[in-house]
Amino acid sequence: MRPVFPSLALILALASVSPSFGVAPVGNLLVNQGFEIPFSKNQWTYRNGSGGQGIATRSQSWKNAGSWSLKLQPNSTNETIWPPFDYAVIQNLDLKKYRGAPLFYGGWMRAEGGATAYIRVLAADKSGNLTYRELSTTSTQAVYWQDIMDVPDTELTTLMFMCSVKGTAGAAYFDDLVVSAQMGRSIQIGQPDPGPSLSASVTVDTTRVVREIPKTLFGMNLEWVFDGQTIWDPFRGEMNSSLINLGSDLGVAMWRFPGGVFANHYHWQNGIGPQETRPTSVTEPGQGTSLNGFGTDEALQFTALTGASDMMITVNANTGTPEEAAAWVKYVNNGTRYVKYWEVGNEFYLRLANADGSPRVMSPLEYAQVFNTYAAAMKAVDPTIKVGADTEFHYPFRGCARADDGGCWTDAILSKASDQLDFLSVHNGFSPIGLAPLGGGDVGLDVRTIYAGMLAYPVVLTDLMNGLGARADQLAGANASKISIAATEWGPLFDTGSYSRLVDHVKTIGSALYVSSVFNVLLRNPRIQQASAFKMVDTVVFGWLGPRNGVWTPKPAYYAFQLYGRHSLPLLVDTTVGVSSYDSRAVLGVPAVQKVPYLDMISTTNEDRSSVSLLVTNKHFDRSITATIALRGFSSTGATAWTLNGTAVDANSGTDLPQGFVSQAAADPDGRFGQGGPGETWVLSTNPTATGSCVTYEFPPHSVTALVLTGQVDFGDASTTCTSIDRGTQK
């Protein structure tokens, strides 16, 4: 949906200040940026909101430099609809001087007690257009963040800098803030950066196993609607053979059925029995209907035909019943077949619809009770199954999806349903979608900058997944050790509407780089046991297969999945990478991230260590990276490399965008989005020379590579090193 912003008059009323400009320190437009002067003598202005949402004071309990910092303490009334209404202090900036110019902004922040600290810059013009950027942290450790806001070249009425706090308890601290037209940055993200190959130093220690990799991490979503999105061919009365072959080639080990959101109104009995007797069913109230050609038996058949070993089923806990769910378990697990993983509902933290289309709002505590009831009924039929709950442990700027009736959704599940709970399902792996109005929306940034933000998000996702595991350990008590994490929907996602210039960018090389980087996050975290990418096939824009001249055609994201599904070995081993990095801007729904490594890499091996597979993403759009790889406990005798690449970071295979969508943006000045078609993207197989315990390999720009080394165990010098340039570490 489009961003929905408050009126300009309301923004101005909330500011409650008149512009008055003094002399700022050289290079910094802010006055008293370190809060060394009492508020009454400077231009920081309290904004108490309509109900007195908190207290703003100077503090000495933490400061970055000098003697003071700003401390914002929210109270129980600080629950807001849109972020700029959080409790804040404000400083107005010069309206005229910086029109049409980039403003660099940032500062030191920390938070405590569950609060979130925000730095925001907001500009509005006479036409009511609003430009808004933000930085945020929940870290109790002081963090310095910086970003850029491009000030509109229009007649401005408001240009303000805000320190804000989200939450109803705790505190946020700020110090040494800056707004400047002169601040430097590490790279010009939006511009091509041709130049010599970068260097990386890599150590792969095959003697240190991080985890055994469950095959269920290589999952993909299926949907029941529209004959399984054309998997079932009603005219032939059989499966679509091309989609069987494409599904098999992909390397999927687990299929998730029957949604997404379509699971919340799905009654499985409508999808069994003779095809001609199956009814037409509502997909979602108000969204149309579909035949039930692709039901439970077809999904299980498709799973078998594609060589997958597992399936995950999401039961209808919205318009269904516990008895219906239990009967589904009994129907499937009948002695000749077996599904181990079951979910109770899909995205219940969002506002759903009843069968008649009326709104249904479920509180966290209500869902915990529903989950317990469903899980008990299902396990009574088959106690060997694993049942997962839907949770909202989402993007860092959102906090709780809804904090009503029992606190955060995740907290309610962990504290009230951990006895029945086997895994937590999260959908926080989408990027860089803007979740308007909570900091998202297309603000007109160039595509290269947006891609850089998307490729930075896996750094954030790593922290989110670690945080969810820590939350389970904190709240689930003795049950914590048995509760795993399932990323049951993840993938590149830019927007959802035909109005968006970015909606079709899920089909580019840049999105494939994102897929590989998220795979690395999932594989590195031992608590993540299941994952399902979203999704293999779709008739609009979400699918990793798309129609081209009426033929289902793989997109680069498909091939990135395939490299992992086909070339990951069973054991993840310790890998350290030293390489240069970049700082991303806040884009769409992704916060700014510092020190994003250009080379993202994992290493896997097999039980006898006869092979080592390196799965490597070069996120630099323009430069290759020459990596010198030290192999500990292994000596290579040969190699095969499979490399996914294209003519540019926005290169694509030319799948069709449905009529009615607006023209799509390109990664200019050298973008290739509009030239999509055969020959624009490829997977190239080569046999590079790679012998011994020190291997050098050049990874091309914007590429994903599976470099599989064959060889043998070699305990020679356990401290094997190679001469290279150390540019920092990534683990």
Q: pLDDT tens across 540-598, in order?
A: 888 999 999 999 999 999 999 999 999 999 999 999 999 999 998 888 878 888 899 99
* Kind of pairing between the strands at 386-390 and 423-426: parallel
Is residue 117 within 8 A of residue 136, CB to CB? The reply is: yes
pLDDT of residue 728 exceeding 70:
no
Q: Tell me, what's the pLDDT at 18?
A: 30
Cα–Cα nearest to 575, from 609, 600, 610, 594: 600
% the chain with pLDDT above 90: 62
* Kind of pairing between the strands at 359-360 and 352-353: antiparallel
Confidence of residue 49 (pLDDT cuts 50, 70, 90): very low
Confidence of residue 149 (pLDDT cuts 50, 70, 90): confident
Confidence of residue 720 (pLDDT cuts 50, 70, 90): low
Q: Taking the CA atoms of 549, 555, 561 and 564 in sequence, report the sign of the dihedral they define.
A: positive
Q: Tell me, what's the pLDDT at 83?
A: 53
Cα–Cα nearest to 51, from 90, 6, 83, 14: 14
pLDDT of residue 13 exceeding 50:
no
pLDDT of residue 2 exceeding 80:
no
Mean pLDDT across 293-307: 97
User: Please, what is the average pLDDT of the chain?
Assistant: 87
pLDDT of residue 20 exceeding 60:
no
Mean pLDDT across 99-117: 87
pLDDT of residue 192 exceeding 70:
yes
Mean pLDDT across 109-122: 90
Beta strands in 260-300 (DSSP E): 281-282, 289-290
Q: Tell me, what's the pLDDT at 105?
A: 87
Of 30-44, 160-174, 300-314, which gets the smallest average pLDDT?
30-44
Number of H helices, E strands in the chain: 10, 37
Q: Tell me, what's the pLDDT at 10?
A: 34
% the chain with pLDDT above 70: 88
The tokens for 610 are: 């006869």
pLDDT digits (tens, 9 = 90+) for 523-542: 999 999 999 999 999 878 88
Mean pLDDT across 210-223: 98
Distances (CA, A) of 10 to 84, 124, 699: 11, 11, 52
Phi first, then psi, for residue 84 (nearest 5°) are: -65, -5
Mean pLDDT across 333-342: 96
* Strand, helix or coil for residue 519: helix
* Strand, helix or coil for residue 440: coil
Cα–Cα nearest to 580, from 616, 623, 613: 623
Which residues have C-beta within 8 Å of that of residue 556, sequence separation ≥ 6?
A: 507, 508, 509, 511, 512, 644, 646, 651, 652, 653, 681
Q: Tell me, what's the pLDDT at 513?
A: 98
Q: Could you give the residue ranges of the DSSP H alpha helices within 118-273? A: 225-230, 241-250
Cα–Cα nearest to 200, from 534, 683, 687, 618: 618
* Strand, helix or coil for residue 40: helix
Of 91-95, 218-222, 716-720, which gets the smallest average pLDDT?
716-720
Q: Tell me, what's the pLDDT at 404?
A: 42
Q: Tell me, what's the pLDDT at 316?
A: 97
Phi first, then psi, for residue 519 (nearest 5°) are: -55, -40
* Strand, helix or coil for residue 414: helix
pLDDT digits (tens, 9 = 90+) for 454-463: 999 999 999 9
Q: Tell me, what's the pLDDT at 19?
A: 29
Q: Tell me, what's the pLDDT at 5?
A: 32
Which residues have C-beta within 8 Å of that of residue 548, sequence separation ≥ 6?
A: 653, 654, 655, 656, 677
Phi first, then psi, for residue 452 (nearest 5°) are: -60, -40
Q: Tell me, what's the pLDDT at 724?
A: 41
Phi first, then psi, for residue 399 (nearest 5°) are: 65, -135
Q: Name the residue with tokens 């009814």.
A: 279
pLDDT digits (tens, 9 = 90+) for 50-95: 347 889 999 999 988 788 999 999 998 886 545 557 889 999 888 8
pLDDT of residue 731 exceeding 80:
no
- Report which listed range, 11-20, 215-224, 389-398, is most confident: 215-224
Q: Tell me, what's the pLDDT at 726?
A: 35
Higher pLDDT, 356 or 214: 214
pLDDT digits (tens, 9 = 90+) for 246-294: 999 999 999 999 999 999 999 999 999 999 999 999 998 888 899 999 9
pLDDT of residue 729 exceeding 50:
no
Please count the residues of the chain.
731
* Strand, helix or coil for residue 200: strand
Q: Tell me, what's the pLDDT at 119?
A: 92
pLDDT of residue 387 exceeding 70:
yes
Phi first, then psi, for residue 205 (nearest 5°) are: -100, 95
Cα–Cα nearest to 123, from 93, 87, 147: 93
Higher pLDDT, 44 or 616: 616
Q: Tell me, what's the pLDDT at 103?
A: 82
Q: Tell me, what's the pLDDT at 717?
A: 60
Cα–Cα nearest to 577, from 547, 598, 551, 553: 598
| Cα–Cα dist 663/566, whole Å | 35
Confidence of residue 361 (pLDDT cuts 50, 70, 90): confident
Is residue 718 within 8 A of residue 207, CB to CB? The reply is: yes
Confidence of residue 402 (pLDDT cuts 50, 70, 90): very low
Confidence of residue 40 (pLDDT cuts 50, 70, 90): low
The tokens for 266 are: 């799905």
User: Quick check: bond before 526 cis, omega within 30?
Assistant: no
Confidence of residue 725 (pLDDT cuts 50, 70, 90): very low
Mean pLDDT across 449-470: 94
